[in-house]
Each structure stands twice: as structure tokens, then as C-alpha cells.
Amino acid sequence: MREITIAIIDRSQFFIDGLRHNLSSQQDFMLMDCDPDKEPLQFIDANSVDVVLLDIDSPISRGLELGRSITQNYPNTRVIILSSYFSNEELFESLKTGAVAYIDKRASVIEFVSTIRRASRGEYPINDSVSASPAIADRVLRQFQEIASMGLIEEKIASPLTQRELQILSCIANGSTNKQVANMLGISEQTIKNHVSAILRKLNANDRAHAVALAIRNRWVVVDDRLVGMNR
């Protein structure tokens, strides 16, 4: 079993100690503390960190900026945003940093373990959070449509999409959740998730919204503006 190197960046030693205790039973987790005030980027580079658990509570803007710096400088390091004040606004801002997950610090041990493992496998648990919030999904889609229309997104396509992947991406672009796409195509929701992960990897996209923006700009999909307007 491959070891997962995890850096915890949090100002609360009480929280760090509790998290370490709760995750200590996972034999493949190598947990390390990282002081946010002592060159965290150098720490991540020196220790080849796979996953960062990043607290953004104190202050939020500084935490988000650190998350953005990590994802930009170390694209292979997966950032999971931690917050004591779980909200749609923070979810939206966390998504913009390129974080792969946004999780409540009060979440269960099972949820923490699952999120870390999914992140280490290259998945984007944050997409599930966005899908569960229609208001955020609509807001993200509208923002990336605007960015795409202005031609501000650089294209770094790793490999072409299959017809099935384009079909799924088209459904997502028109507001469908993974479950709805699965029902429409008659396949399992897990299969849809696997396809979405493949789409993100091929497009070098940070998240579903980024993938949709690329698809809109390149005219791979057609978005029904009526669907976007329904939640306004």
C-alpha cells in the first residue's frame, strides 16, 4: 500500500492533536504538522507532500491565498480546505483556489479518511459539494461562461475526449448532477464519477466548472441559456 504524505496546516494545536489521534489508525497515512507562518511552500516541496489539510479560519483571505499558491506551484499536491464555518460562499471561494475538497472541521473520521483517500487518487470531492448546491453550481457555471467568452482560459489539453466523455460533459454543462446523468445514460453514478475524473485529467482542469468552460469555449458542447437562467 502506497504511503500518503499529509501536511496539516492549522493554527490550533488542539485541532491538530485531535485530527492526528483520529487518523492514527490509517497505517498508510504519514501525518506532518506544517506551521503556516514558516514557509509552508518550502515545507511542501521538501517533503513531497501528497495532500494538504489547510485551515482557512484565521484569517480566511490568507488561508485561501495560501491554498491558491499551493495549487499553482505544486499541481501534484492536493489541497483540502478545512473550515469551522461551512458555507456556500466559502465553498465558492475554495473552488476558485483549485482545492480538490472543502470539508467541515466537525466532519466524521470516516468522511475525513474518505476525502483524503479520494483526493490522493486524483478525484475532486469538491465537485460533489458543488453538485449538492444548485445555487453554487449555477454561480460557478455563469462565472466560467463569462471567462470563456472573453477567451481568458489557457488551453492545455492532455488528450482528446471520447464521445461518451463529451456526452457526459454536455450533460454537466447543462446543469445535470452525476446522479441525473447516470439515470439519463442508464449507467451507475460511480461510472459517471470515474468518467468525470478522466475528463478533468485529460483537460488538465481544476474542477467541473473549469472543464465546462473549456468545453464552451471550444464549442464541444452547447449550453441551454434557459437552464442557466432558471436559478438567477
Spell out the domain ranges in the chain: 4-123, 134-229
Per-residue pLDDT tens for 9-55? 998 899 999 999 999 999 999 999 998 888 899 999 999 999 999 99
Which CATH superfamily includes the segment(s) 4-123?
Response regulator (3.40.50.2300)
Give the integer Cα–Cα distance in Å for 64 and 55.
9
Banded pLDDT at 198 (limits 50, 70, 90): confident
Banded pLDDT at 159 (limits 50, 70, 90): low
46-50, 64-68, 143-147, 205-209: segment of lowest average pLDDT: 143-147
Residues found in the chain: 232
Torsion from C-alpha of 145, 149, 154, 159, nearest 10 degrees: 70
Residues of the chain above pLDDT 70, percent: 82
Give the integer Cα–Cα distance in Å for 214 and 208.
10
Give the integer Cα–Cα distance in Å for 81 and 105.
9
Give the integer Cα–Cα distance in Å for 145 and 223.
10
CATH, domain 134-229, list 1.10.600.10, 3.20.20.70, 1.10.10.10, 3.30.420.40: 1.10.10.10
Per-residue DSSP letters for 121-183? TT--THHHHHHT-HHHHHHHHHHHHHHHHTT-PPP--SSPPPHHHHHHHHHHHTT--HHHHHH
User: Does pLDDT of 210 surpass 70?
Assistant: yes
Mean pLDDT over 164-177 rounds to 85
Residue with cell 436559478: 231
Per-residue pLDDT tens for 93-125? 888 788 889 999 999 999 999 999 999 988 888
Torsion from C-alpha of 85, 87, 90, 94, nearest 10 degrees: 100
User: What is the average pLDDT value for the chain, to the nearest integer?
Assistant: 81
Please state the pTM of the whole predicted model.
Answer: 0.64
Banded pLDDT at 170 (limits 50, 70, 90): confident
52-56, 85-89, 137-141: segment of lowest average pLDDT: 137-141
* The three three-digit cell numbers of residue 212, written as one number: 465546462
Predicted confidence at residue 158, as pLDDT, reads: 46
